[in-house]
Structure 1
Amino acid sequence: MTRILLSGAALAVALFTSSAQAHVTLEKADATAGTFYKAVLKVGHGCEGSPTTQIKVTVPNGFVAAKPMPKPGWTVETASGPYDRAYAFHGKPVAEGVTAITWSGGSLPDGQYDEFVFVAFLAPEAGARAAPVPVVQTCVKGEHRWVEVAQGGAKLAAPAPVLKIAAAGAAAPAAGTVEAGDLVIDAPWSRATPGGAKVAGGFLRITNTGTTPDRLLGGTFSRSGSVQVHEMAVNNGVMTMRELADGLEIAPGQTVELAPGGYHLMFMDLREPLKEGETVTGTLRFKTAGTVDVSFVVRGIGAKAGAPAPAAGGHQH
């Protein structure tokens, strides 16, 4: 009897795990801004054995001119409305378009697999990011709402499919872009320093493509004694700068930019000046991702975020 009970419990756990892992997913979870993306939503099960009769997808911000693919046996409907902002498309600003797509009227048995497809232009203005694609799956009995986005490290029962979007011109990681687990670290850089300077700033962009938060705690810089994470802000007209002793959180699905005038790394006790055009090695230390090797491209003394890198530098946007 004990063996029978244990076997039953193991089977229940296996079935629950299989069901929990059978999410609606994207066939291709990586894309590049400034291109047309073919979203293939993979549906591999129904609702507790009940057939699927409707799939509704919410088109994320920055997905412009979305169009669904017709599906034999299913009726396709679209809903239109304003975008979160105007986006350039074929040389003209576009402020509204398709915001939701629904396939209905068909029947996909629980034991069968199918795909639902739409295309959209990924607006460069929306930038590099992890974009959730919420999907509601309706069945003869019940529904699955694949719409959850992780907050504060919570484990998700019904996560939305997520598309990791690289910045325009960055179809694959290139020089200056590093991937560490769920983190994408893009274009680390610093400014040239005058002779005798004892500190310098470090800047970069970090995208968390995962479902749990991470935290930038500090790192190393081959020309300095230590590295701190700082925040610069203006309070009541007074500019202040403080060290973030607990580090900087990189929330799931978010991109955090370290740039002049905001969050940044502070390279303390410089041992020699930084010269424009050179590359200096270092590391970043994260709470979850651990230590990551990076290289900082040195730009001019007055360089601003988004400025082109020197010819000898790495990948910039």
Structure 2
Amino acid sequence: MTMTPTRRRLSVLAASTGAGILVFAGSASAHVSVQPGTADQGSYAKVAFRVPNERDDAGTTKLEVTLPADKPLTSVQTRAMPGWKAEVEKTKLATPIDNHGKPLTEVVSKITWTADAGTRVNPGTFEEFEVSMGKLPTDTDKLVFKAVQTYDSGEVVRWIDLPGPDGKEPQYPAPTLKLTAKAGAGTTPTTASAKPSTEAKASVAAVAEDESDDSTARTLGVVGIVVGVLGLGAGVFAVLRASRRSTSA
């Protein structure tokens, strides 16, 4: 069936609006991140550094993850991945830490995954680099891992930024693992009249802030989609109105 000028204009308008919505959604979510995003304090956990490919014309061939120097971990192990080589760097500690009753003088401070020839994270896909780590600290509510992503085009993206004073997410946020207290750990019976501690209030405030950030991101995504749909509707109405006038004339 031959496409009329009116149908052709509607098709172009719909395609361009849909593409705009997809670009908006992709830019809001394509970050290097830690999966899952939470773990128990004082535990051993398996996490994965999820690496999406944000480029249409290049593939990711290298990932570098730096572990927090102020919260050294006694155990860090990488999982073998076909087509990738994992290398760990260790740092000597100024003050040894206890590791099951024995002093530990050096810890893993950086992990680098490098793709073999012919291997990469292709456009439109993601890869997860798994690590077993512990013992997770009990004196902080998060661990920040700075990551560097390298493409075979030579481009380097540094996921190392922290939220600003206003809590707004930066353009290149560092992967962050939130730490929560184990259920029942260190708790004592309380009464209805008991007042929450300063630490508890801070924890609740932090959770509320995180939920607010997540809600803001979801709201922005919905607003973008709604604006796109309204724009599409306005365009369709304008095209149909012009068509009717042309027919009446």
Superposition TM-score tier, normalisation by shorter sequence: 0.5 to 0.7
Question: Does the 8 A contact of 1:64 with 1:121 survive in 2?
Answer: yes
SS in 2 for 1:204: helix
Larger radius of gyration: 2
- Does residue 161 (structure 1) correspond to residue 203 (structure 2)? The answer is no
Is this contact kept in 2: 1:32–1:122, CA < 8 A?
Answer: no
1:96 counterpart residue number: 106
> What letter corresponds to residue 26 of structure 2 in structure 1?
S
In the superposition, the TM-score normalised over structure 2's length comes to 0.63
Taking a change above 3 Å as real, the CA distance of residues 138 and 175 of structure 1, as seen in their structure-2 partners, is: same
1:286-311 per-position Cα deviation (integer Å, ceiling 9, x unaligned): xxxxxxxxxxxxxxxxxxxxxxxxxx
Structure 1 regions of 5+ residues with no counterpart? 177-187, 191-200, 215-251, 253-317
Q: How many residues align?
A: 191
1:63, CA displacement in angstroms? Answer: 2.7
- Out of 198, 204, 209, the residue aligned to residue 199 of structure 2 is 204
Q: What is the DSSP-based 3-state SS (H/G/I as helix, E as strand, rest coil) of the residue aligned with 1:120?
A: strand
The reply on whether 1:34 has 2:34 as its aligned counterpart is no
Deviation at residue 209 of structure 1 after TM alignment: 5.6
Identity over the aligned pairs, expressed in percent? 24
2:127 alignment counterpart: 114
1:46 touches 1:108 (CA, 8 Å); kept in 2?
no
In the alignment, the residues of structure 2 paired with residue 165 and residue 202 of structure 1 have an alpha-carbon distance, to the nearest angstrom, of 18
1:62-96: CA deviations, max 9, x gaps? 33321222222112111111358643221123242
| Bigger RCO of structures 1 and 2 (CA < 8 A, at least 6 apart) | 2
Superposed counterparts of 1:48-197, under 5 Å: 48-60=56-68, 61-83=71-93, 86-106=96-116, 107-124=120-137, 126-141=138-153, 142-153=155-166, 154-167=168-181, 170-171=182-183
Structure with greater proportional strand content = 1
Tell me, what secondary structure is at the counterpart of 2:132?
strand
Aligned-partner residue type, residue 78 of structure 2: P
Specify the alignment match of 2:28 in structure 1.
20
Taking structure 1 as reference, are residues 209 and 92 closer, same or farther at Cα in structure 2, changes over 3 Å only? farther
Q: 1:44 aligns with which of 30, 33, 52?
A: 52
Q: Point out where structure 2 has 5 or more consecutive residues left out of the alignment.
A: 1-8, 214-249
Question: Residue 169 of structure 2 aligns to which amino acid in structure 1?
Answer: K
Letter in 1 for 2:171: A
* Amino acid aligned to 1:135: A
TM-score by length of 1: 0.51
- C-alpha distance in 2, partners of 1:213/1:29? 13
> Residues 97 and 175 (structure 1 numbering): CA distance in 2 closer, same or farther, change over 3 Å?
closer
Question: Displacement, 1:138?
Answer: 0.8
